[in-house]
Structure 1
Amino acid sequence: MADHEQEIPAPGFRFKPTLSGELVLLRPVTENDLPALMPMFRDAEVTRLTGSHDDGEPDEGQLRAWYSTRADQDDRLDLAVVEKATGNVVGEAVLNEWDADNEGCGFRISFVPGAQGRGLGTEATRLIIGYGFEKLALHRISLEVYAFNPRARHVYEKVGFVLEGVLRDALLWEGERVDAAGMSILAPEWFRHRGRPAGRRAPAHPARPSRRR
């Protein structure tokens, strides 16, 4: 059976794929990836950009328990981002908050310090968003990005996310109230440009799959 015709078990989020690009490989995350991901939880700048209020040193035991259950989740997809050039786990990409009735979900992505600025995030985003539309038959994928994270917003726009509105003063961060941009991408948009809305023509691709009931 051709790859684009692969049947996904219902619900599709229980199947954990491996997705390969030129720069990164996305694969199911496990508790064994935690040592590589711990700098992401300890870094003050990563914490700020994601709006994760710091409650002290992250609990490695709790995090290990969390990652040990990711393979069993049938309503979300947690993938480790592996840099192909080094073989190192450098981040995670997640589809979450699945809304089955409305065929939508949320998206977030995060990297360890030093992994930014090499195109890894852009490719990882395209891979997992493409999987959501092409394999899971989602209609809408959404996210929020804070005003003090313009680099992330640029990546999302580059992949085709569209600004829907601004959540004013959505985050209180060290005494400062920060807006969040609400963004989304829809299946018809993805199948027009395949994550490259600014000029590069999308490759030929089969029609959007119908959702299995």
Structure 2
Amino acid sequence: MIPSDVFRELPSLTDDRLRLVPLAEEHFDGVRRMVDDPVVRRLTGTHRTFTDDEVRQHLATRADHHDRADWAITDAGTGAFLGEAVLHELDAPNATAGYRIALLGPDVFSRGYGTAATRLVLNYAFGTAGLHRVGLEVFDFNVRAQRVYEKCGFVREGIYRSALYSGGIWHDVIAMGIIASDPRSG
């Protein structure tokens, strides 16, 4: 079992290209742009819109939630906001958490940022936080994300049939997971 506040002291995570820093109010402009992008909204299954106050409130309270880890994905050289990565829905007795990631928009897709950020988060999750399992859900039409997750060691575990209504049709949601002993790249 791990502590229920395992994410209380959230570190920054870095590699040669990225720096994942605790998500905070200073990331408002990037988050606002990300949650308004129609492509990002589709890929994340987001149906509702958010007000500036809702986004600010969300950012202002991230440090208060020790049962989740919210990082801003930033360029290591420039500090530019590239997206967010989150470990959430911590189940401390079972040492498991969910994972989600959203990049800023099509301008930053297909550059390896999602793969690099996911690897950093998994190294932290298993090496530092002591998690046993990390799971996620991805939509059937998001093939690029599925490839990233598989490259990072996630395994397909099941399908929630017709679980998302988007673009006038029903889509399947694919459940994926990785456990600490699974092989990972990077």
Unaligned runs of 5+ in 2: none
Paired AA for residue 16 in structure 1: L
Alignment of 1:59-208 (within 5 A): 59-113=51-105, 114-189=107-182, 193=183, 195-196=184-185
* Structure with bigger gyration radius: 1
RMSD (Å), alpha carbons: 1.6
C-alpha distance in 2 between matches for 1:68 and 1:134 = 28
Q: Percent identity?
A: 42
Q: Aligned pairs, how many?
A: 184
C-alpha distance in 2 between matches for 1:118 and 1:152 = 12
Determine if contact 1:83/1:120 at 8 Å carries over to the other structure.
no
Q: TM-score, normalised by structure 2?
A: 0.94
The CA deviation string for residues 159-212 of structure 1, in whole angstroms up to 9 with x for no partner, is 0000001111011113210001100000111xxx3x31xxxxx7xxxxxxxxxx
Displacement after TM superposition at 1:85 (Å): 3.7
Q: TM-score, normalised by structure 1?
A: 0.82
Change (3 A) 1:49 1:10: closer
Higher strand share: 2
**Aligned partner (choices 17, 22, 26) of residue 28 of structure 1:** 22
C-alpha distance in 2 between matches for 1:9 and 1:18 = 20
C-alpha distance in 1 between matches for 2:172 and 2:3 = 39
C-alpha distance in 1 between matches for 2:65 and 2:34 = 22
Q: Show structure 1 runs of 4+ deviating over 6 A.
A: none
